[in-house]
Structure 1
């Protein structure tokens, strides 16, 4: 017969292990999604290349639809930043909430010409062959 004290210890250890695994996935999803989102917005800039296997073209276009500024030029310096973010997941699917700041800076004057600041987005991701793939994105214009 297992004593009550032994049950409490086992239950405590089990809860700690489950929490540690959940938090590990939380960090993994957040880091992976933020890396992919950064590569979408910065593709071709500062030596950053997009891994096409982590996002489909229709979803990628959802990310890029609100950054087509009329005074945008090819040689503008792009400054992109993501907030810390939050995740809810079920170990195989997850939602990530982050805010992004996107600015285009003139190379000569170093003045911000266009951009968006602290724009909230919701990203849905799924685990596919041990990689987090972005399957949807929601953003209000």
Structure 2
């Protein structure tokens, strides 16, 4: 009987380790993709299709005027995030904050702060964003 308990314990431990590893991998991948989307619009061609569905790119709120002048600096941050997954598909809940700050007055001039829900799937070795919902 103890051998059976050992196999069950080892199996559950292995499952838990794999689940946590996938959790971390999904969050890291999604954060990298979001940073590229919000901070590097010039790299859209590189991520479109591979890391994000082409029709979703326009669902991400971003303005081409960031920063709006040379007196602005950008402050961008992502929350830690949470993920629920079934190893090859999952949901990610994360909050992003994007601000344009006037360098001379150190005041926020514009920005966005919103929780978003992303659906991701494993495709060709990467985690691809296939759906997005952003609370207004």
| Same-fold status (TM-score > 0.5) | yes
Tell me the CA shift for residue 57 of structure 1.
3.1
Cα distance in structure 2, aligned partners of 1:38 and 1:11: 41
Unmatched 5+ residue regions in structure 1?
A: none
Partner of 1:85: 81
Candidates 108, 120, 135, aligned match of 2:130: 135
Paired residues, number: 132
Unmatched 5+ residue regions in structure 2?
A: none
Matches of residues 9-88 of structure 1 in structure 2 within 5 Å?
Answer: 9-43=6-40, 49-50=43-44, 51-52=46-47, 53-64=50-61, 67-68=62-63, 73=68, 75=70, 76-88=72-84
Cα distance in structure 2, aligned partners of 1:140 and 1:18: 33
Cα distance in structure 1, aligned partners of 2:116 and 2:83: 12
Matches of residues 98-109 of structure 1 in structure 2 within 5 Å?
Answer: 98-109=94-105
Normalization by structure 2: what TM-score?
0.86
Q: 1:25 to 1:135 in 2, by over 3 A?
A: same
